[in-house]
Structure 1
Amino acid sequence: MKLSNISPRVSQILQILLEQNAPISVKALAEQMNLSKRTIQREMDSVNAILKGYEIILNSKTGVGIWLEGSEDKKQELRHDLSMDDRLDVSNREERRKRLTLEILKEKELRKLFYYSSRFQVSEATISADLEAIEGWLTRYGLRITRKPGSGISISGSEEAYRRAIRAFINENIDTHMLREAYESTESDAEGYASLQYGDIGKILNDDIVKRVIACLSGMDNTRVMTLTESSYVGLVIHIAIAINRILKDEVIDTDASWQQGLVEDADYHLAEQIVEELEEEFEIEIPAVEVSYICLHIKGAKHEKIQWDGQKINAIENRELRGILNEMVDAFDPESAYLLKQDEEFIQGLLAHLRPTLIRLDHGMQIQNPVLDDIKQNYMDIYQKCLNVSKVLERFTGKPVPEEETGFLTVHFGAAMVRQEGRKEEIRQVDVGIVCSSGIGISRLMLSKLNKLFGDRVNLTAYGKNDITSYVQGKTDFFVSSLPIEKAEIPVIHVNPLLNEEDIDQIRKMIYQYQRMPTKHKQEDLFSVQLDQINQMAAQINIVIKDMEFFYVDVDITFEELLHQIGERLSPYSDQSQIIQEDLMRREQVSSQIFAEFGFALLHTRTKGVTRPVFAVCMPEENVAFKDPYFKQITVAFVMLVPDDELVKINNDIMGHISGMLIEEPEFMEVAEQGDKEQIRTLLSRHLKQYFRKYISGLS
């Protein structure tokens, strides 16, 4: 690792620059970090000094911004080293305590207070206070912090409790949807994968082990596994990954699991055995028998996306014991409504499917996350209170307390049935929320990820840069959540801390609740404003295509690959973007050839992140003769059309589609192009796009 004496601020600057696919202004960088431009500029010498060790150059261009240039391998190496550097802002108490919890869960052996005080650069008294603060969280999962004078600090508790705590920590700090999507991605450079690979999760779980565990589970193609809900699936993966990691380190796994004697060797147990067999083959290890029971327990206690019973969708209640419990639960909820509730087949099947894993979780003290519990308590208070009586039925049956999270899920089942029964058809819609930061790339994406985890399908979240806020955008958005002031906002704006504290989230929650019950924004009087925005966007893109049209000659002996290389270099000044253009054009060519011998030209086109504006270019061999390479089939002109992969993709596709049709239907354009006069080509292009624009406007009326 080449990093030494690097400050947290410089580390953050480097991480932001590594995330960028295009130049970023110093002003935008400063806004993301809540610092002044001068402060950022003062740190540039330190940034340059670090980059030299990685053969990466910090480029800067007035009016464009700053960006990193270097090989992807070197950038990946820098990302890795930054992820291994544990510096953090020690003045942020919440972040420091979260990291301390992480350290304690990661290291089970004894550590002295001095170790942690040095680690976090605070006093031992501060660490002691932090330990008291996080001890309550650990206790919830059956773990204790043990202090031994002269020896140090360690964590004590059962293996099962230890795994529950790690799973809870990840559930509270990692988006489980993002985790599953990232680790199942076939593209190793996916943004989500990189953020997890180098984030806190990598400090608890071995990244390679997680990927291999998921590969094993996916490879089994078992319906019971693949229909697990997001949180249940991730919980199973985490559980297995921890066990594999411990076994590979030759750490002894607690085998005091007398509860396993009560497990029946049913379909779930045999599935657990199959999973263990796959894992043993993949990792070439011997897994203790107790792990079969642990995995079986997770499967039995898991929630599924589909209603299933021993692998089959249920159509009738056949288990007498469960039917008796269910009837007692419905009676306890509301004796007056009980009869009609028992006739609601959808409710009965849903509750039965929920009941079996619930009993498993209660019997074995397994935790379950309920991210909408506060909303349930607030918005369905009466039903929640009645479900407390339902929970008492389960407590009597299992002899175990029912956590409020479980009561919350029961409230959802009973609440939906009551709405159907009482005929209340309250319209609950998805709320359109705009997440705003300076660029629409950095801070807004972090906020979007956290809000998506909290509110899920209740909201449709879209990230915007400050300059993206038009009347059209505001017309289709219910309200904005912004980390900076928005001038002349026409809709409500909730101004928040970029880290989204509890007060911010509470404001957002209340606003979502309000808009869920309001009609969708489709006001007739706004139609003209929307059309004006659409016309302005179309006009701006057409103007860019005409004004920035490119014309250039290439060597007559050039090969197809060499032509793509020259196109990339000609149409982008940045080597990274130039490479993306080449790869995307080649990928498109491999789908089907873009050489049209019958028309005498090539139509090289693609959607790409290598450009930020639509590009139309004309390329010809020198001396106005045909390309000599046989691959070109004697064509004389190559037209290039690049569409940026952004929110205007439809408009730009329509423009380029019109140009494509013109090239085929209007021989005049080919004749002008072959003359090699750039301005004549531009004039003819302008004339045709003017006709297209008029037709577009008339189509809106």
Structure 2
Amino acid sequence: MASNDLTPRMQQIVLALLNEDGPIPVKQLADQIHISKRTVQRELEYIPRVLKKYGLTFCSKTGTGIWLEGDQDQIEAIKAELEEDDALDVSDRIERQKRLTLEILKDKTLKKLYYYSDLFGVSEATVSSDLEVVKEWFHKCHLEIKRKPGYGVFIEGSERNFRRALRVFIDENIHTEIIQEMYEDRNQSVLNVIQNKSERNIYRILDDDIVKRVTACILRIRDKRILNLTQDSYLGLVIHVAIAVNRIRRQEIIEENSLMTDGLRNDQDYDLAKRITKSLEDEFQIQIPEIECAYICLHIKGSKIQQLNIDEKSRSEIEESRELWDVVNEMIDCYDDSIAYLLKQDEEFVIQGLIAHLKPTLVRLTNGMKIQNPLLEQIKQDYPVIFERCRSVAKVIEGRYGYEVPESEIGFLAIHFGAAEVRMESRKESRRKVNIGIVCASGIGISRLMSSKVARDFADRVELSVYGMTDLSPYVLSKTDFFVSTIPIKEEADILYVSPLLPAEDMEQIAGKVRRCEFMPKKQDNQEFTIQLDQVNFIAVQIKNVIRLMEYQRVNNGITFEELLIAVSEKLAAYPERQSIIQEDLMRRERLCSQIFPDLSFALLHARTEGVVKPVFSVCQTKDGEPFSDPYFRGVCVVLIMLVPKDDHEVENSDILGVLSERLIEEEEFLDTVRHGGKEEIRALVSQYLNQYFKHYLDKI
């Protein structure tokens, strides 16, 4: 029966029905055997007629499902026959179909069924059946498998959709264990990883020589953007380029797209893509069209990176991106309007978190690129409230750009928002950062993977350092709270021995140690104690300056926004050049994201500026206590100014002024006093809050 009357697809459906005790909805059956509902419905047109010959009746009922009826002995006999056939076929059917998909992606030129039959060692009938399965996958990517009688099989669709399909396939089939084995040392060839796998593994279909040489070309370019790619993005880049080189060597015609290349030519990642292209041309002695360079650039732009290192130039570009600021502000408001104000003051979250994350996310969504999130299920399980809030945040992106945001991307948003909430809470508690040492034989390799995982889970609760065996000096031992190691350490210290891949039980042990250490006094030696004394003295001086130099002025209700900036800057700086700098920086920050809060009845103008050399807190009220008449102020009656100098102490100064920002919405007395109180009343509360902050600061060190 199985071989003569039913196709492999029909066998799957019948066997699934025979294994059911009662009716099953068509959609549930389709999901169970991993094909579409439409495909099942199409096959069901033929199945009832075939089953009649074997004494089985096909039954269906709207709203209930479908099922089979017949003599129980006959049912068991047919089931045994189908299961025997299935055991012979299913064991490698799915793997073979993946290989067929990759082979078509690798070389989409016209091929006869015999070509694939010979390649996989199966009959042409089996290849034909497999093509029907993979046809569904290609259709989802807006590509069509076409058969031309007498000639063979080919793929039809645009180059853009073909590249999207290639990216989807890579993302679907890069398994964690493959990545982790090669990630210990990126100098190891991808080829070595592939060769260690079973002969049936899908990567065996890639050309060994091409993969090896592509890897060498990419590794020769010691660019931090490549070295900073995540595990799956790096391997995906290698596979993407290897398939592209294979197609060019076969002289396949690649559609040019001047709109795409012109749009990317001035992109900062295009130069890196050109360097990769030049390296490939020299290695393979081929001419690579510009469109391939554009696709490599697009792959890099849409890749996830391990960490964000934003220099001043990048920061300026981000700060000037008004559209991204608008989207991010809307996302934060949507997340939780009760804490939105505080989240917007967290520059690390807004600039290095959301804005920098949003740029590659939009590239991926625009170009249909999927991204894997290995932490997705853990995030949904451990942080369900944050994840559900981020579903709403994703709706902002969908509403703005029209792209549906997948759960993997929502998971990454949850990481950023979750870390920001942890930072916000940690400012209110007397915690300190825990100093952890990650140890492996050399200080490179697997320790880097371990360090990334610990940093990802504990965010700013820890300070991480990576050491080799020879790096454990007395000073290192004295300042480290505990070590995480995969190898025996002879030095006397608090050491937690773990598996290199840090499974859940190891991470829980690390979490326990972090919780204990962050409320204990910090380890220190004489040298560090001297440094801390200098730091404490610096913080004390800065707090004293904020209190003593607090400016207070009252202005006419009719003053305009620009006139107020002039009046404020004249109070805060003696020299016209510095006054101009303060005005420009406050105006620039206000253009990015308005800091006027009519619901709270105050405006907060703040900026990093070279117009001051000390942190500044200043209050500007209307003379009669009534709101400003300029519509720009939207009914507020007090403007607060906070300025942080552009120097090496940005973090410390921002933390000091950040205390006052938080108290504005946490303490009603403070908000009421800055609106209607006198200078000394305001100064008294500023002194009280900064005194509390200083005591907490001393407790933490």
Provide the TM-score with structure 2 as the length reference.
0.45
Q: Which has the larger radius of gyration?
A: 2
Compute the TM-score of the two structures, normalised by the length of structure 1.
0.45
